[in-house]
Amino acid sequence: MAARGIALLLVCSTSAAGGAAVRRCASAPRALARAAAFAVGSAGPARTAGAAEYTAVLLVPTGIGAAIGGYAGDALPVARALAAVVDVLVTHPNVLNGAMLYWPPPNALYVEGWALDEFAAGRLGLRRVRRNRLGLVLDAAIEPELRARHVQAADAARATLGLDIAGWALTDGPVGVELATSARTGASWGTVRRPDALVRAARALVDEHGCTALALVCRLPDSEPDSAGSLAYRAGDGVDAVGGVEALLSRLVARTLRLPCAHAPALAPLPLDAAVSPRAAAEELGHTFLPCVLANLHRAPALCSPDARAPLDATCGTSADEFVLTRADGGARGADALTLWARDVDAVIVPASACGGSALLSLAARPHVLIVAVEENACVMAATPEALGLGGGQAVRGGGARGVGGARGAHVVRAATYLEAVGIVAAHRAGLNLEALTVRGVGALPKLTSRRHV
């Protein structure tokens, strides 16, 4: 049984006791977040008997230079903190992948970008599994020595982590990946000359070897170590040049085969730079970025169509491991109870200027969903809740958080930091009025009148 954190709630102000000044407590949402971080080793909080699971979605788009989550797994601490205060956390590879480093929260669902968009739109469900049978697709353009390093990484994952990896397949020709950067926004993207080669190799692993999730490795163009983009990225102040095209590669395969997949780039090692930012340092540790992808795909959820009724429907995979999970309280539950839908989402946490993605816009149309827009996580985009009219598009400031409220769609709250965002989510999960946790608190109860009687 996992140990649970014990928190002491203090309501205090600046004072002096015993000759020493007592530090003023932070805002209530921030204090809640700190208590949650103290107990971050647990797989989510204790749930009230009979209460529905609380599900949050954490989004940090790739290739947009996000201050947190724009580098090498540097949004993973945020995911771990959120996982400690929710029952289920849905997120994507850009958040959980850290090259050679990984720490998948046990209650987190690792979902590729296209599948996440489809889930948010209500067109796919996420079915929790005990394990996946993994397949590894390697681009024929990868040099023999670098290819061997990736095969060794997969072998190590089998022997050290106990992962079920069926084997690896080579594409029948170079995939032909090229990188590009948007002149308007600075976001990264790219093109793929031979997508058919990638899909054929992936399909063979699924159809002939029973793989239920795929790790993709394509040879990407190497950046010049002394280029402005490379120097900025390694210093923790630039855009990930490969993030955009990586999302394109995984989207291509996931959309075609309708199963979990993620991409790890094959790149030549860069020369040692002792001044590399800690946020980018995970990519400096070895010859491959594959370990995190394999570890996270191990239990990535199966993708289910809304009209899939049979427990072994082809749209939900064919592994019996999908249907043998049991509740934590020992009771039995069927496959349907293991499947998550967009209607089950309670909150979405997103950078405040990156609210224009398909998944966020779909979930924002649901009135019960809370959108937490984090201001500190700046990026090259300018898609704010107000600009997009989310929550009514009218910003008001109240207490420690700034809310964007409206009668239609989701309720939007701005948080200064992820630390504050975690506290907001914890309070929302507890069913609290967020205003009651701020200095200004709640105002006098208004008298409501009906227009019908005016």
Rounded to whole angstroms, the Cα distance separating 383 from 61 reads 12
CA 62 to chain centre: 10
Which of 313, 263, 260, 315 is CA-nearest to residue 288? 263
Q: Are residues 117 and 143 in the same domain?
A: no
Q: Are residues 170 and 210 in the same domain?
A: yes
Q: What is the CATH number of the domain that holds 223?
A: 3.40.50
Answer whether residue 31 is part of any domain: yes
d(CA 368, CA 409): 8
Residue 269 and residue 412 in one domain: no
Q: Is residue 93 part of a domain?
A: yes
Tell me how far CA of residue 177 lies from CA of 251, 392, 430, in angstroms: 14, 41, 47
Instruction: Residue 286: give the domain boundaries.
Output: 129-300
CB 223 within 8 A of CB 266: no
Domain count, the chain: 2
Contacts of 337 (CB under 8 A, 6+ apart): none
Please list, in sequence order, all residues whose beta carbon lies within 8 angstroms of the beta carbon of residue 66, skipping any fewer than 6 positions away. Answer: 60, 75, 351, 354, 377, 378, 379
Specify whether 34 is located in the same domain as 112. Answer: yes
Token readout for 311 is 């427990």
- Whether 342 is in a domain gets the answer no
Please tell me whether residues 243 and 148 are part of one structural domain.
yes
The two structure tokens encoding residue 72: 């090498």
Q: HSE-up of 338 (CA within 13 Å, CB side)?
A: 24
CA 143 to chain centre: 31
**Are residues 180 and 112 part of one domain?**
no
Q: Is residue 54 part of a domain?
A: yes
Specify whether 148 is located in the same domain as 249: yes
Same domain? For 134 and 260 the reply is: yes
Q: Can you read off the two tokens belonging to residue 263?
A: 């991409």
Indicate whether 234 and 113 sit together in one domain.
Answer: no
Tens-level pLDDT at each residue, the chain (454 residues): 444 454 544 444 444 444 433 333 345 555 555 555 444 444 566 655 556 899 999 999 888 888 999 888 899 999 999 999 999 999 999 999 999 899 999 999 999 999 999 999 999 999 999 999 999 999 999 999 999 999 999 999 999 999 999 999 999 999 998 877 777 777 777 888 899 999 999 999 999 999 999 999 999 888 777 677 777 777 777 777 777 788 889 999 999 999 999 999 999 888 888 888 888 888 888 889 999 999 999 999 999 988 754 333 444 544 435 433 333 333 334 446 789 999 999 999 999 999 999 999 999 999 999 999 999 998 888 899 999 988 754 433 334 455 554 444 679 999 999 999 999 999 999 999 888 888 887 888 889 988 775 5
For residue 439, tell me if it sits in a domain: no
> Checking DSSP bridges between strand 302-304 and strand 125-127, what pairing results, if any?
antiparallel
